[in-house]
Structure 1
Amino acid sequence: MRVIRKTKPCLMIVAEVESNHNSPVFVNRFIEALFFFGAQFDCLEDCMKNDESNRSIMEAFYFSPGIYNIMTTEGEQRAFRHVKVVVWRSCFLRFGLIETPLSKASLSQAKLMLKNYSCASSCTIDKDGECLTIGWKGTQLYSLSAWKFK
């Protein structure tokens, strides 16, 4: 955080997975991963053809290593340690960051853009406090928040 503070950014944007893959309890991590990746695969099923190369790339190089790492590794070996925005809020507060509200226009613009896609009815874009969350059929997948130093 000292390095970031020294650059004196006007604003820091954080895009993060909205799931708790950092639990030390395997069962909790498993359930979170099951819902998160289940929603991800369901989204791919609805939005991409089975034989599409981009889908194969997503499954093989993004989802597979994430699932493997979250389910099979412990301690320092686990690289994927996603946490929800509520955890980021308390962490950033300790470092003197203030969550900056995203405008209502940004939420409206995101929802307007979503209407261009056939699977838009399954996707949700909402506000959680001052950040935007993106979900699939009721499961939150990602959050987008803005922060600035006091």
Structure 2
Amino acid sequence: MRAGGPPELRITGIDLPQSGFKPAGRVEETGRRLEKYCKRFSVPFVFKAIAKKWESITLEDLEIQRDEVLVVNSLYRLGNIPDETVVPNSPRDAVLNLIRRIRPDLFIHGALNGTFNTPFFVTRFREALFHFSSLFDMFEATMPHEDEDRKLFEEEVYARDAMNVIACEGTERVERPETYKQWQLRCVRAGFKQVPLDQEIVKIVRNKVRSEYHRDFSVDEDGHWMLQGWKGRVIYALSCWKPTKQSVK
């Protein structure tokens, strides 16, 4: 047992504001579910909800306490932030610069590995077709047609995202993924260095996928990225970063 009991867990949840009179309603509901979970294990818990565009958040909004271990966890959402093809001063770079200024002990970055963010429609349509075909094929091979969760996900997530990629332009197109190699360049340019993957964890994940999941799922490495794919196509990429010493001075 830890002397003094479990440490306090503080989480700041960030989401885009919803329309209506409760702009932070969705992220606040997440906080309530987390609070119930922490109570089950007697973990002191504090949750702060922020409903703003990521690029408009300031350091003061986050209420950082320098005596705590700080982790920034961003899974597959940075690709929804406008890039320099929409706004001259890239909001993506602004968010990465804010994360660097926070000086986290660890920045966990999960990226949707997409190549359908080109302004040229035909190219974007073709790349989106390849991407979403892989996702639907994955469901077809692993879930029955009548599965309600599958129907919900296909109709409410995949169909919505595909429609946004194909039918929308300018600020209305919010699905703007980049490849993990493009994110590599952005993160390095913003003043981060990658943390090597724990090879024991990678081995455990690979063995689990091989023994318990469909044979067409894959887990690979490229540099310090862990790549998750289907039938040889990389769908998601995950890596960990820290600010360089020079960048936090």
| TM-score, normalising length: structure 1 | 0.93
Partner of 2:201 in structure 1? Answer: 106
Q: What is the RMSD of the two structures over their aligned residues, measured on CA atoms?
A: 1.3
Identity among equivalent positions (%) equals: 30
Give, in angstroms, the shift of residue 99 of structure 1. 1.6
| Superposition map of 1:115-134 within 5 A | 115-119=210-214, 121-134=215-228
Aligned residues: 149
Does residue 1:147 correspond to 2:241, yes or no?
yes
Higher RCO structure, 1 or 2 (CA under 8 Å, sep 6+):
1
Give, in angstroms, the shift of residue 106 of structure 1. 2.4
| Superposition map of 1:49-128 within 5 A | 49-119=144-214, 121-128=215-222
| TM-score, normalising length: structure 2 | 0.57
Structure 1 stretches lacking a partner, 5+ long? none
- Of Structure 1 and Structure 2, the greater helix share is in 1
CA deviations 1:14-48 (Å, max 9, x no partner) are 11111112111112211221111111111101111
- In structure 2, C-alpha distance between the alignment counterparts of 1:93 and 1:146, rounded to whole Å: 12
Structure 2 stretches lacking a partner, 5+ long? 1-95, 245-249
Give, in angstroms, the shift of residue 2 of structure 1. 4.0
- In structure 1, C-alpha distance between the alignment counterparts of 2:200 and 2:129, rounded to whole Å: 33
After superposing on structure 2, the runs of 4+ consecutive aligned residues of structure 1 that deviate more than 6 Å are none
Name the SS for the 2:176 alignment partner.
Answer: coil
Partner of 1:48 in structure 2? Answer: 143
- Choose which of 12, 15, 21 in structure 1 pairs with 2:116: 21
Please say which structure displays the higher CA radius of gyration.
2
